[in-house]
Amino acid sequence: MAANLKTEVDNIIANNAVVVFSKTHCPYCTKAKALLEKHGVKAYIIELDNADNGAAIQAYLQELTGQRTVPNIFINQKHIGGCDNLYALEKSGELKTLLAKI
């Protein structure tokens, strides 16, 4: 894996309050993005199936987080997980707290 790709992904996560690594055809990605939008969040979204280096980014995310599936969500540089994790945060009220810090 190219070091510059890792640096690029790390910089995206570091420089954006909310980042969603997604795929356009994934219903869980659509659901997660809709929830963030409902909260008025302008997430930085990378559609891995449209990115030239999408497979390499997904492989690096698995190395970084242990999660290969999408969506792969970061809030305030913290790995949240996927759609189910995001909705669990919503249900517990923690999502609102996390988003208040952005």
Sign of CA dihedral 29, 45, 94, 11: positive
pLDDT at residue 3, rounded to an integer: 83
CATH code that applies to domain 3-100: 3.40.30.10
Contact 22, 45 (CB under 8 A): yes
Predicted TM-score (pTM) of the model is 0.95
pLDDT at residue 1, rounded to an integer: 59
pLDDT tens-digit readout, 14-63: 999 999 999 999 999 999 999 999 999 999 999 999 999 999 999 999 99
- Give yes or no for residue 2 having a pLDDT over 80: no
User: Any idea which residue has 């249900």 for tokens?
Assistant: 91
Please report, for residues 2, 30, 33, 65, 73, the alpha-carbon distance to residue 82 in angstroms, rounded to integers and kept in the order given: 25, 11, 11, 11, 6
- What are the extents of the domains in the chain? 3-100
Torsion over CA of 25, 18, 38 and 45, rounded to 10 degrees? -30
